[in-house]
């Protein structure tokens, strides 16, 4: 059988960095084909080459046996390639139908009718007249998929589509994708989640460090086999949590209400939780449900008025009215989600970035910076957390995302805080480093520190947390103990189903 | 003629220079580019248009040449900000200063000379109504500017082009990802904005006050810029703001002529104050502002 899409010896370099090296790939008709690899393995670059966003330096591409070289997304679309981006390419101030009409020809009324029909057929229901900014992340993804389907593609590329979905929505998406395959649309499914690939795909091409390291039938291999191909060695085991009784309450939030003045933002209501010494508490939920707002309020980036200072207490004292620096002085440390600009200053050296939060740890003498102490502390961070960089004088902005994350995590952990608050601790970090970071967090917990973690990766929370809460539409679920709670139950809280049932 | 009749009949003509420039800038800003050089572009095109009419070329040719001159000067700005990704604020101010300088230079030999404006055309029937009749006696350029307003309103409301411009202004990266030629579209918007500013300048120097004096644009470009922002990037509000400003500037003249006991400097500043106040109230709704504001305004685009 002639492959739908066939790549032979495709390479792409950015400056001195090889993003793809001699890639061979064959996607058959009526197939769901996985591209599996870690962050930075070259998956996204490969998709950009297929979708015409970038042009390969070397190699050939064939479409249904004909040699092609798409030079723009429009050319790729006219061949029959559709792409659903990880960061959606939707316009918030336009309606669903308007967004779709930007690349799909047709009158508005006819488009709206087709959106409804296709939505029913493939389980992608969405209101064509709704403004995109009012839609949930899952609904936005449906709009992206619908927009591709309306161009009647033969190949649909999905870039990490499940990273924004609750477990129940993932099952629904898979149902849609299987239906599409049965109607003759092949799917390229990019992911780093092994179990999903084993459940959905009939073929998998595995990338590691820009090269293909295997092409297998994922249903015939265990997750451990796939992981070995993906990271080049066996999956590291998690550090076991020691049994211990939680100690004193280091963070208490009681009935936090906060109204957002940004009409596109989320308001928080009735947030109540606590974190005790010697436990890790997780906050799960799909991003955009109030995580950023809650992080800003707990870190002190946003203060509460003096009257409601008691709503947030740390170590038993009212904290709500204090700024970030005052909170840090009492043994609190924070790793924000946004690395560049919040977690680190991109234009400054790693040493100066260390100074930003560690200045009270002997780096200042008689009001002057002690450069030697600053460099020593930075070097220690780099060594202990395996940060790949030229040294303490490297600019923070020049580090890769994963390396910078390791550096920021290391900087805050070395402050030895009593209460550590981390948003997305391993986002964009490779598996080896992510495991190392999780080990550090569990070791801190075992040493009696209190840790609060916000993460979109449910697997991660299940691995390290003692219990977790779920944030949905600015409401926080009650505390759910682990491991007694199942992923399915957490998923119900993530999509608000549980809340609705409990309210009846 | 009563004061009300005087204001109603002159309001649209007084508003036209602001309106044309603001409509052009509206399209530019909706695509995500901030061109602060309006004042200079208007002044330069005004001088060129005056020369064409004075030399016997007629108003049609003058408006055409002014549009081309405005677009050409705007494209210098366009190359700076789109090709070289220069800071839009700095580049816009520089082009504005350049335009004012060129205007003085080419206009120098024509200082204080006069020409004839355009005849007024009356809409039959409506123009004989009492009090409001004057509203329907306007020159051809005013009628055309009203048609342009309606066309731009319709473009943003109902056409694919309008939708594409809004999409590029909101999120140029997403627009690029779905295959929209972001840079080409922005270049076209900048050229259109320059042409509209050129025509606005031509109207001011060859129709509204058909006499050349250096500095005659007198801040109209800046008012047009303010109208776009205070009008929250909506065509209807920009039109309303321009008419309001036109009416107030005539009201001020009427008040001075009637000998109101206020210093003339205070009276002269009233149109600005009242316009800012009214448009400020209109745009104080944060929700609407957030929905209409152009998210990528002033940011250079790199793929």
A214, A275: one domain: no
Q: Where are the alpha helices (DSSP H) in A201-266?
A: 223-231
Q: Are A55 and A129 in contact (CB under 8 A)?
A: no
Q: What is the pLDDT of residues A216-237, one digit of tens each?
A: 999 998 888 888 888 777 767 7
Q: Supply the range of the domain harboring residue B17.
A: 3-118+143-292
Residue A96 in 3-state DSSP? helix
The span from the CA of A408 to the CA of A333, in Å, is: 11
Where residue A4 falls among pLDDT bands split at 50, 70, 90?
Answer: very high
| Domain-embedded: residue B60 | yes
CA distances from A334 to A126, A276, B43 (A): 38, 16, 55
Does some domain include residue A399?
no
Do both A444 and A482 map to the same domain?
A: yes
Contact A315, A250 (CB under 8 A): yes
What per-residue confidence (pLDDT) applies to A164? 72
Collapsing DSSP states into helix, strand and coil, what is residue A477? coil
**Residues A154, B141: Cα–Cα separation, whole Å:** 53
* 8 Å CB contact between A299 and A241: no
Asked if residue A223 is part of any domain, the answer here is yes
Dig out the tokens for A101 from the structure: 């009409």
Interface of A with B (CB under 8 A): 53, 72-74, 77, 85, 88-94, 98, 101-103, 261-264
Percent of chain A at pLDDT > 70 equals 98
Chain B CB contacts of A53 under 8 Å are 177
| Domain co-membership, A257 together with A146 | no
**Are A188 and A223 contained in the same domain?**
yes
Average pLDDT (B114-126) is 88
- The pLDDT score that the predictor gives to residue A185 is 92
Distance of alpha carbon A470 from the chain centroid = 16
Q: pLDDT exceeding 90 applies to what percent of chain A?
A: 35
Residue A390 confidence (pLDDT) above 90: no
Average pLDDT over residues B123-138: 84
Instruction: Determine contact, residues A253/A298, Cβ cutoff 8 Å.
Output: yes
Indicate the residue among A231, A261, A279 that finishes a domain.
Answer: A231
Instruction: Return the pLDDT at B164.
Output: 95
Q: How high is the pLDDT of residue A100?
A: 92
Same domain for A209 and A124: yes
Q: What is the mean pLDDT of residues B94-105?
A: 96
Q: What's the number of domains chain B is made of?
A: 1
**Residues of chain A found within 8 Å of residue B166, distances taken between Cβ atoms:** 91, 93-94
**Residue written as token pair 């090889």:** A18
B174–chain A nearest CA distance, Å: 4
Regarding whether A268 and A201 lie in a shared domain, the answer is no
Mean pLDDT of chain A: 87
Name the E strands within B132-250.
137-139
Which residues of A are less than 8 Å from B284 in CB distance?
A: none
Alpha carbons within 13 angstroms on the beta-carbon side of residue A360 total 13
Q: Give the span between the Cα atoms of B33 and B27, in whole angstroms.
A: 9
Chain A contact for B170 (CB, 8 A cutoff)? yes
Q: Averaging pLDDT over each range in A32-46, A81-95, A137-151, B147-161, which range is the top one? A: B147-161
pLDDT-derived band of residue B1, with 50, 70 and 90 as boundaries?
low
DSSP code, position A130? S
Q: Which of A155-164, A291-300, B240-249 has the lowest mean pLDDT?
A: A155-164
- Measured in whole angstroms, the distance separating CA A8 from the mean position of its chain's CA atoms is 31
Please indicate, yes or no, whether residues A103 and A206 belong to a single structural domain of this protein. yes
Within its chain, how far is the Cα of A375 from the centroid? Answer: 32
> Is residue A504 pLDDT above 60, yes or no?
no
Residue A26, pLDDT score:
93
d(CA A203, CA A116): 32
Give a yes or no: residue B207 inside a domain. yes
CATH, residue A478 = 3.40.50.300
Residues 6 or more apart in contact with residue B138 via CB below 8 angstroms: B12, B13, B120, B121
Q: Does B167 touch chain A (CB under 8 A)?
A: yes
- For the ranges A314-318, A432-436, B6-10, B67-71, the maximum mean pLDDT occurs at B67-71
Task: Return the number of other C-beta atoms located less than 10 Å from residue B157's C-beta.
Answer: 11
Whether residues A180 and A304 fall in one domain: no
- H helices within A330-484, ranges in order? 350-358, 371-384, 401-413, 431-446, 458-464
> A19 lies in a domain?
yes
In this prediction, residue A262 has a pLDDT band, given cuts at 50, 70 and 90, of confident
A32 forms beta bridges with A187
Domain that holds residue A169: 5-231
Domain boundary among A231, A257, A290: A231
Q: A131-154 b/e with 16+ CB inside 10 Å = b? A: bbeebbbbbbbbbbbbbbbbeebb
Answer whether residue A49 is part of any domain.
Answer: yes
| Bigger pLDDT: A106 vs A11 | A11
Rounded alpha-carbon distances, angstroms, from residue A490 to A191, A288, A295: 22, 17, 20
List the beta bridge partners of residue A471: A476
Assess if residue B54 is contained within a domain. yes
Q: Chain A contact for B30, CB < 8 A?
A: no
Domain-located, residue B124: no
If asked whether residues A22 and A96 sit together in one domain, one would say yes
Query: Is pLDDT at B15 greater than 80 in this prediction?
Result: yes
Q: What is the mean pLDDT of residues B245-264?
A: 84
Q: What is the dihedral of CA B209, B215, B221, B222, to 10 degrees?
A: -130
Output the domain CATH number for residue B8. Answer: 1.10.3470.10
* B302 closest CA partner among B166, B186, B164: B186
* Contacts (Cβ under 8 Å, ≥6 apart) of B79: none
Q: Identify whether the C-beta of residue B28 lies closer than 8 Å to the C-beta of residue B196.
A: no
CA distance B14 to chain A (A): 34
Are A164 and A227 in a shared domain? yes
- Over residues A142-170, mean pLDDT: 85
Give the chain B residue nearest A92 (alpha carbons). B170
Partner-chain contact B167 A103, CB within 8 Å: no
Mean predicted confidence (pLDDT) in B203-226:
93
The edge-to-edge listing of strands for the beta sheet with A312-314 is A268-276, A249-258, A312-314, A317-318
Instruction: Give how many domains chain A has, as a whole number.
Output: 2
Q: Residue B111 domain-assigned?
A: yes
Q: Please tell me the total number of residues recorded for chain A in this structure.
A: 504
Residues of B with Cβ-Cβ distance to A73 under 8 angstroms = 177-179
What six digits make up the tokens of B88?
């839009």
Q: The tokens 């009324």 sit on which residue?
A: A109
Let me know whether A270 and A127 are in one domain: no
pTM, full prediction: 0.77
The answer to whether residues A144 and B174 touch, using CB atoms and an 8 Å cutoff, is no
Please answer yes or no on whether A93 and B175 come within 8 Å at the CB atom. Answer: no
First to last CA, chain B: 60
In a domain, A404, yes or no: no
What digits encode the pLDDT tens for the residues B162-213?
999 999 999 998 898 888 899 999 999 999 999 999 999 999 999 999 999 9
Position B221 scores a pLDDT of: 95
As a whole-number percent, the residues of chain B with pLDDT over 90 amount to: 65
Residue in this structure with the two tokens 């058909």, named with its chain if needed: B210
Provide the Cα torsion B21, B27, B33, B39; round to 10°. 0
Closest to A329 measured CA to CA, from A357, A304, A310, A302: A357
Does B136 reside within a domain? no
Could you tell me how many CB contacts below 8 A there are between chain A and chain B?
51
- Return the top range by mean pLDDT from A256-265, A455-464, B64-73, B274-283: B64-73
| Chosen from A109, A260, A263 to mutate, greatest number of chain B CBs within 10 A | A263
Decide which of A201, A231, A261 is a domain's last residue. A231
Please indicate whether residue A246 or residue B303 has the higher confidence score (pLDDT): A246
Q: What is the pLDDT of residue B68?
A: 98
**Domain annotation covers residue A298:** yes
Residues of B in contact with A261 (CB under 8 A): 286
Helices A371-384 and A350-358: crossing angle in degrees, nearest 10, is 100
**Site from A102, A109, A133, A140 to mutate, B interface, most B CB atoms within 10 angstroms:** A102
Decide if B302 touches A, using CB distance below 8 A: no
Q: Which two tokens stand for residue A466?
A: 């003692």
Inter-residue contact B220 to B65 (CB < 8 Å): no
How many C-beta atoms lie closer than 10 Å to residue A481's C-beta? 10
What band does B281 get if pLDDT is binned at 50, 70 and 90? confident
Whether the predicted pLDDT of A402 surpasses 90: no
Q: Do B290 and A262 touch (CB under 8 A)?
A: yes
Whether the per-residue pLDDT at A499 is higher than 70: the answer is no
Confidence of residue B289 (pLDDT cuts 50, 70, 90): confident
Q: Are strands A32-36 and A203-208 parallel, antiparallel or unpaired?
A: parallel
Using DSSP bridges, classify how beta strands A317-318 and A32-36 pair: parallel, antiparallel or unpaired: unpaired
Asked if residue B26 belongs to a domain, the reply is yes
pLDDT surpasses 70 at A58: yes
Burial class (CB in 10 A: 0-12, 13-18, 19+), B140: middle
- Give the number of other Cβ atoms within 10 Å of residue A204's Cβ: 25
| Res B47: pLDDT | 97
The closest alpha carbon to B42, from B215, B213, B188, B208, belongs to B215
Residue B122, SS3 per DSSP: strand
Asked if A125 and A172 touch (Cβ cutoff 8 Å), the reply is no
Same domain, A156 and A213: yes
Mean pLDDT of the residues in chain B: 91
Contacts of A264 in chain B (CB under 8 A): 290
Q: How far apart are the first and last CA of chain A?
A: 56
Classify residue B133: in a domain, yes or no. Answer: no
């Amino acid at each position: 059988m002639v492959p739908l899409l066939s790549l032979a010896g495709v390479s792409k370099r950015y400056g001195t960095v090889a993003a793809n090296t001699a890639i061979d790939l064959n996607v058959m008709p009526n197939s769901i084909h996985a591209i599996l690899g870690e962050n930075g393995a070259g998956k996204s670059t490969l998709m950009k080459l297929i979708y015409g966003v970038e042009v390969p330096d070397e190699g050939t591409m064939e479409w249904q046996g004909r040699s092609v070289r798409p030079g723009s997304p429009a050319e790729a679309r006219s061949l029959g390639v559709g792409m659903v981006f990880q960061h959606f390419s939707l316009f918030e101030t336009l309606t669903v139908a308007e967004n779709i009409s930007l690349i799909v020809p047709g009158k508005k009324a006819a488009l709206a009718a087709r959106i409804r029909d296709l939505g029913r057929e493939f389980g992608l229901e969405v209101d064509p007249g709704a403004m995109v900014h009012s839609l949930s992340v899952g609904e936005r993804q449906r709009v992206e998929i619908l927009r591709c389907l309306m161009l009647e593609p033969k190949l649909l590329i999905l870039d990490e589509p499940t990273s924004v979905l609750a477990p129940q929505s993932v099952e629904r998406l898979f149902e849609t994708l299987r239906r599409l395959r049965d109607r003759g649309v092949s799917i390229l499914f990019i992911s780093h989640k092994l179990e999903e690939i084993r459940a959905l795909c009939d073929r998998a091409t595995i990338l590691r460090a820009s090269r293909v390291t295997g092409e297998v039938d994922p249903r015939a291999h265990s997750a451990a086999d796939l992981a070995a191909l993906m990271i080049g060695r066996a999956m590291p085991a998690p550090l076991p949590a020691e049994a211990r009784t939680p100690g004193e309450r280091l963070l208490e939030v009681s009935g936090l209400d906060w109204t957002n003045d940004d009409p596109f933002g989320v308001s928080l209501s009735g947030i109540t939780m606590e974190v005790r010494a010697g436990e890790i508490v997780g906050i799960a939920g799909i991003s955009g449900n109030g995580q950023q707002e809650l992080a800003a309020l707990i870190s002190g980036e946003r203060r509460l008025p003096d009257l409601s200072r008691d709503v947030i207490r740390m170590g038993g004292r009212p904290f709500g009215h204090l700024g970030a620096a005052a909170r840090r002085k009492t043994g609190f440390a924070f790793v924000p989600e946004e690395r560049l600009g919040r977690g680190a200053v991109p234009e400054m050296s790693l040493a100066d970035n260390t100074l930003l939060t560690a200045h009270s740890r002997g780096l200042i003498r008689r009001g002057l910076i002690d450069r030697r102490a600053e460099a020593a502390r930075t070097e220690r961070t780099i060594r202990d957390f395996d940060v790949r960089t030229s040294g303490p004088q490297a600019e923070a902005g020049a580090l890769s995302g994963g390396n910078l994350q390791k550096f920021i995590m290391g900087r805050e952990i070395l402050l030895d805080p009593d209460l550590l608050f981390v948003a997305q601790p391993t986002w964009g970090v490779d598996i080896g480093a992510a495991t190392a970071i999780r080990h550090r967090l569990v070791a801190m917990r075992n040493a009696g520190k209190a840790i609060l973690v916000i993460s979109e990766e449910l697997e991660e929370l299940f691995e390290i947390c003692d219990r977790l809460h779920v944030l949905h539409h600015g409401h926080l679920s009650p505390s759910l103990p682990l491991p007694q709670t199942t992923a399915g139950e957490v998923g119900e809280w993530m999509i608000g189903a549980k809340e609705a049932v409990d309210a009846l | 003629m009563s004061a009300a009749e005087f204001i109603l009949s002159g309001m649209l003509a007084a508003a036209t220079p602001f309106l044309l420039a603001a409509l052009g800038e509206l399209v530019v800003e909706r695509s995500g580019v901030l061109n602060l050089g309006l004042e200079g572009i208007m002044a330069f095109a005004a001088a060129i248009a005056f020369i064409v009419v004075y030399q016997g070329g007629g108003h049609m040719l003058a408006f055409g040449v002014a549009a081309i001159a405005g677009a050409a000067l705007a494209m210098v700005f366009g190359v700076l900000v789109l090709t070289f990704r220069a800071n839009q604020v700095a580049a816009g101010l520089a082009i504005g200063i350049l335009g004012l300088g060129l205007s003085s230079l080419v206009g120098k030999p024509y200082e204080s000379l006069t020409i004839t404006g355009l005849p007024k055309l009356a809409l039959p029937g409506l123009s004989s109504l009492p009090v409001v009749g004057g509203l329907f006696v306007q020159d051809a350029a005013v009628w055309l500017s009203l048609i342009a307003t309606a066309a731009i309103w319709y473009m943003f409301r109902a056409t694919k082009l309008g939708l594409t411009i809004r999409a590029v202004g909101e999120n140029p990266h997403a627009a690029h990802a779905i295959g929209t030629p972001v840079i080409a579209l922005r270049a076209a918007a900048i050229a259109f904005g320059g042409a509209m500013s050129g025509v606005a300048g031509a109207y001011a120097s060859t129709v509204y006050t058909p006499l050349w004096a250096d500095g005659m644009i007198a801040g109209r470009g800046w008012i047009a810029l303010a109208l776009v922002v205070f009008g929250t990037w909506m065509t209807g509000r920009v039109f309303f703001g321009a008419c309001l400003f036109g009416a107030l500037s005539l009201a001020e003249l009427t008040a001075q002529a009637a000998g109101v006991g206020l210093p003339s400097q205070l009276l002269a500043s009233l149109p600005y104050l009242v316009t800012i106040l009214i448009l400020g109230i209109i745009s104080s709704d944060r929700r609407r502002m957030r929905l209409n504001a152009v998210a990528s305004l002033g940011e250079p685009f790199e793929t």
